[in-house]
Structure 1
């Protein structure tokens, strides 16, 4: 069981951290970089980078981030993230919930073809979910977000009904999050994870590009799909180069060998600003940095200690020095990019070391022997701070260590290779304190990350359990009315800031580096922008 959970968590973590170099919603008025000022031109190739060889299957347990940016192009989902982050039509043109919220009906697009020319139908949707995603023995990547789905029924060739065991207001958003539909006519009767001819050689999707050439360890070439339902893309090709090193990716962007990428460390921004061929595009995404304090450790179960840590850490200084200003303070998981649900006036924690010391003293932690380290019941407040080496995590952890030391806490920094960190901290839950981030679909339903049911075996890494929090999470998930839902999530943010299941740090912007000739890219996180790659074009 731990291995299955580890795969899912590993998938999410890799989705967050690997650098990626590198469109048709109803929200067409949203700004793109240049597409409103010029007429799109056809032809050309856009080059991106991935860190490792991909797996061409969005639900494969080992399809990590190197696969995500390709699979979102090859495989269309029922929905996709809209340019305003609301769910937008993709393979489904419309959808509606039942009055009791226990089912959702999706009406499918006419005339869609698979890359091999076969027609796309409701049977493909039902097979993808009933036979792959909902089969617990398969442990499909991302299956946990569909835990409330009982089955998918085919009403007719162009209509499917998702039957639920509890209301899920966020279902349309989830269906646009790494949930591309797979072809029944290829997978039926086969092991979906061992179908090498599909997963590693010749995938068949319905997306705007299809597989061209694949050279393992070197690159993946996708070619435009002339039968794409929204019309042939402007670009001729997308090429994904396998480049693991972030510095090498920056160098290739500077030399025009890469067209678009994401920085996982903002240390290079000054260098990039001086380049005449590149632009820096900060984008708000549903992502937050956090510190997790293991709730099996009694030292961290006292909320006064968690609040003291928040007052001890100068988050503004870290944002300024490490994040180069591309972030804002977080007091809950709900990102400002979710404008209708983000509460601006959530009470927070200013940087105040004296207040931190006072709270720690109230919790029984005092320096009784004058050695500069707080103690309680004869034991010093000393613990390990594990950190995976990736992006800006190490410099952030070093600053956190110093801030906590200043209020009398002995923090021993333990830097680890990334995969080793995943196994120790995430799979085995063997840690005192860790720092990382979460990214989630464009919906405020964060139940999988905080509910008691996901402690110890899911995404609730601290193991925090609180009945009131569970009630708010469940209420938010089942509330359909937008105004009522907003109120629930406003209350949720207030309560999370008060109780601190995680120590919320900041909402980082995604820093995209784009070649100035690349046009038509919507102002979305790059994962979401890949759904609009048919709109991208190159200015000659």
Structure 2
């Protein structure tokens, strides 16, 4: 950043340049005498992330590595990382990319992301983390029924991660959001898939009759069936339509409250669970919600034909679909192979329930292209009484009914569910999720009254000084997320280490050599500079994939990772590289 350049102009200039490139930036960060070549994909949907991504690539290049960077959309990254084969970028897979990530529940569930049993395509361990100590600690974490052993296990996971650095955790961001000053009831950030816009709780001051509200989400969604969710762009849209068995009351307390379930019991050994379901709940079609919908949802996720990324953890939790059954119209009984925290704090709290009467007639191979998943077009649903319901997208039990897409406005449309199973305090009757590209564009939309709030992915922290209180109320939230540089841990250098000098000399030390290289990457990152100069102070330097403010974060154990290029080069030397 030039001395005479404001941070805002720097962001705008870099973002515009990245958009103009629309692809690769050849030669960026290239080392003069490289030890090896590395391709880094930088998502092009956030100017600030593009800056620290570029900086990360430049820092790695200072270690003698030829870093080839490219600004690309997620539609390029996703197929490369999920091909399930672990190939390098040159082979059609990937080497490294930047990501803002989190666990799919407020109670951290690293098992779902970092267990060696969760490789794609049926799991979300896109990074191929495959470490015996990490696996053992996560297994103990999931099995622990008391807080003491659970904390001991998760701290072992954190310590092992800190020592081998499977990925470089850059920092823990703070979410900065601007809202319509006349909007009340907006009290939290988004967190896929358990927190998303909740306009049924919003009140717009001065609105006569039913108010209309709009929420901006940067990326268009890829899938709108909950079991296919890949991020905020999906759950921002489908979230208001569906319910889970248990849901969080609010972002501030993060306390759980009954939703489609009214309660449950657990056996002394933690294996058998009996869930009581809420009676009188209707799907948007008018059909009654029952235990059969819960059973159908879980079986879908466990069926490989549907190719849900949640398949692997579901198989790990349940063993087989025989583990659960309907023992009454409003009762589900589960017999787990073993107690696991993942059932109570992930399956029951984070997984939306889907409608059997709608989806049982759609073949697994047809679902992704079906209007249920795309919200594009309409279809007829035959009900139990022989009548039909015309659906315009997903059919849920939630407070908002899908009305399909408004193609002209680039928006997803909702009507308030008049038959929702609980009372809601807001005055909003019609709601839109609008896809708007760019931080400046979203603030312009807020100023003009086109939207009332937006997703934190716009990363407006550097622009808060441009927001006038007359049209924008700035809110900040602990994000419970982290920004990191991901590495393909099947890459022969920084993944398996077999192509490092040390790994070639002594194959038994290949994994050790790869860890040295990743530690070098980590020490090359100026985390404090990134937080202060690029994230405008909204965040804290990162260490491990655990929310910095979570009770599970071992603050006494996890000291800040020093930025020191000499230390970084020493680690490269340990891996056998000679300067």
TM-score range, shorter chain: 0.5 to 0.7
Give the structure 1 partner of residue 47 of structure 2: none
Distance in 2 separating the partners of 1:123 and 1:325: 49
Residue 221 (structure 1) shift = 1.4
Alignment check: 8 A CA contact 2:247 2:350 kept: no
1:163 aligns to what?
Answer: 335
Q: Name the structure 2 match of 1:451.
A: none
Residue number in structure 2 paired with 1:255: 448
Counterpart check, 1:121 vs 2:290: yes
Q: Corresponding residue for 1:240? A: 433
Query: How many angstroms apart in 2 are the aligned matches of 1:11 and 1:197?
Result: 28
Conserved 8 A contact 1:266-1:323: no
Q: Residue 485 of structure 2: which of 272, 291, 303 is its match?
A: 291
2:270 maps to what in 1?
Answer: 101
Deviations 1:140-161 (A, max 9, x none): 2433332322332112111112
| CA offsets 1:86-126 (integer angstroms, 9 cap, x no match) | 44321112234332223333221122111122211111100
By how many angstroms is 1:70 displaced? 2.1
For 1:364 and 1:129, the matched residues in 2 are separated by 45
- Equivalenced residues, count: 353
Match of 1:111 in 2: 280
Instruction: Give the aligned partner of residue 211 of structure 2.
Output: 44
Corresponding position: 1:334 with 2:534: no
Q: In the alignment, is residue 344 of structure 1 matched against residue 516 of structure 2?
A: no
Ranges in structure 1 where 5+ consecutive residues have no aligned partner: 26-31, 366-374, 381-540
> Structure 1, residues 161-202: CA drift from partner, whole Å, max 9, x if none?
233333221323323666221111222243256353533332
Q: Quick one: which of 171, 187, 190 aligns to 2:362? A: 190
Tell me the residue number matched to 1:59: 227
Please say if residues 176 and 461 of structure 2, whose CA atoms lie closer than 8 Å, have aligned partners that are also in contact: no
Match of 1:224 in 2: 416
Residues 75, 205 of structure 1: 8 Å contact kept: yes
Q: State the Cα deviation string for residues 209-242 of structure 1 (Å, max 9, x = none).
A: 1023533462221111111111256221111223
- Structure 1 length as normaliser, TM-score? 0.56
Secondary structure, aligned partner of 1:170:
helix
| 1:528 aligned partner | none
In structure 2, list runs of 5 or more residues that go unmatched.
1-80, 85-119, 128-172, 180-184, 188-197, 379-390, 488-493, 501-510
Q: Which deviates further from its counterpart, 153-162 or 164-173? A: 164-173
Q: Work out the CA distance in 1 between the residues paired with 2:341 and 2:295.
A: 20
Q: 1:134 matched to which residue of 2? A: 302
Q: What SS does structure 1 have at the residue aligned with 2:286? A: coil
**Greater Cα offset, 136-145 or 324-333:** 136-145
| 1:247–1:163 Cα change, 3 Å | farther
* C-alpha distance in structure 1 between counterparts of 2:330 and 2:523, whole Å: 55
Deviation, 1:362, is 6.5
- Which residue does 2:396 correspond to in 1? 205
| Shift, 1:36, TM fit | 13
Equivalence map 1:270-419=2 (5 Å)? 270-293=464-487, 294-298=494-498, 299=500, 301-302=512-513, 303-339=515-551, 341-351=552-562, 353=564, 356=567, 359-360=570-571, 363=574, 375-376=577-578
Q: Which residue of 2 aligns with 1:416?
A: none
User: Residues of 1 paired with 2:400 and 2:202: CA distance?
Assistant: 23
| Alpha-carbon shift at residue 364 of structure 1 (Å) | 6.3
Check 1:60–1:19 CA distance in 2 against 1; reply closer, same or farther (3 A cut): farther
Distance 1:285 1:177, change over 3 A: farther
Q: Which moved more, 1:91-100 or 1:205-214?
A: 91-100
Kept after mapping to 2: 8 A contact 1:21/1:49: no
Question: 1:187–1:242: structure 2 CA closer, same or farther, 3 Å change rule?
Answer: same
Q: Deviations over 1:333-385 (max 9, x none)?
A: 2213423x2222123245352761684387266xxxxxxxxx43xxx6xxxxx
Q: Secondary structure at the match of 1:115?
A: coil
In 2: Cα distance, 1:45 partner to 1:10 partner: 40
Distance 1:226 1:40 in 2: 22
- Kept in 1, the 8 Å contact 2:266–2:274? The answer is yes
CA distance in 2, matches of 1:44, 1:361: 60
Which digits, 9 at most, give the CA deviation of each residue in 1:58-104, with x for residues without a partner?
Answer: 1247x764331121110111122343234432111223433222333
Output one character per residue of 1:315-344: Cα deviation in whole Å (capped at 9) or x when no partner. 1111101111111123222213423x2222
2:259 corresponds, among 72, 81, 90, to 90
The CA deviation string for residues 273-305 of structure 1, in whole angstroms up to 9 with x for no partner, is 445321222212331223345322354733455
Matches of 1:21 and 1:67 in 2, distance apart? 21
Q: Does the 8 Å contact 1:209/1:222 carry over to 2?
A: yes
1:160 to 1:88, Cα distance in 2 relative to 1, 3 A: same
TM-score w.r.t. length of structure 2: 0.53
* CA RMSD in angstroms, aligned pairs only: 4.0
Conserved? CA contact 1:272–1:278, under 8 Å: no
Further displaced range: 42-51 or 356-365:
356-365
Pick the aligned partner of 1:215 from 395, 406, 417: 406
Q: Distance in 2 between matches of 1:336 and 1:271?
A: 26
